[in-house]
Amino acid sequence: MTFDVDQGYIRHPTDIPAKIALCSDYGVSRNTCSESGVVGISIVTHEFFSIDTALDITISISDPAFTASGHVAWCIPDRNGHYRTGIVFDDPETAYGVRMIEQICYIEQYRQQIQKQEGRTLSQADAAEEWISRFAKDFPSFSLTTPAV
């Protein structure tokens, strides 16, 4: 399995629902983001967002749903009339949480793919075990750095 990345950002699987909403409480702090390496996720949105727009992303793959705040690094139209939106997370703990939930999304996508292609029904735990042994070492990591003062 190769992981799709857009401009260095982990691509959120399109078959795993995520909700994007404007966030009025989030203070944008771009100084903590590295401009190199993976620093966020890319997700399909139905609307255009300007750079630095503060967003909340909610992924309901777990209970309770996972929510994180970040800001738009880039937003480009795709061929289907939607937008590919890059979201960065300045806080290392938030970035780590987002990376973990994205792995859970990829594991769920894998579980669904195995059911569809091979007819095997995997529990979430079995799918996680298979996915981790096969693909976890290649899953992109976020590279957040604090600039020298």
Give the separation between CA 5 and CA 105, rounded to whole angstroms. 15
pTM to 2 decimals? 0.82
- Give me the helices (H) in the chain, please: 92-118, 124-135
Question: Tell me, what's the pLDDT at 92?
Answer: 87
The answer to whether the Cα torsion of 97, 61, 18, 141 is positive or negative is positive
3-state secondary structure of 47: coil
Question: Tell me, what's the pLDDT at 145?
Answer: 46
Question: Tell me, what's the pLDDT at 34?
Answer: 43
* CATH placement of domain 5-138: 2.40.10
Report, as ranges of residue numbers, the positions in the chain whose pLDDT lies below 50: 28, 30-37, 145-149
Question: Tell me, what's the pLDDT at 3?
Answer: 58
* Domain parsing of the chain, residue ranges: 5-138
Q: Which residues contact 94 (CB under 8 A, 6 or more apart)?
A: 68, 69, 70
- Helices 92-118 and 124-135 cross at an angle (nearest 10°) of 110
Give the separation between CA 40 and CA 28, rounded to whole angstroms. 14
Written in H, E and C, the secondary structure of 55-86 is EEEEECCCCCCEEEEEEEEEEEECCCCCEEEE
Question: Tell me, what's the pLDDT at 81?
Answer: 92
Question: Tell me, what's the pLDDT at 6?
Answer: 63
Question: Tell me, what's the pLDDT at 7?
Answer: 67
Q: How would you list the strands of the sheet with 9-11, edge to edge?
A: 5-6, 9-11, 40-45, 83-88, 66-77, 54-59, 18-22
Find, among 65, 53, 70, 51, the residue nearest to 17 by Cα. Answer: 65
Instruction: Give the pLDDT confidence of 65-77 residue by residue, as tens digits.
Output: 999 999 999 999 9
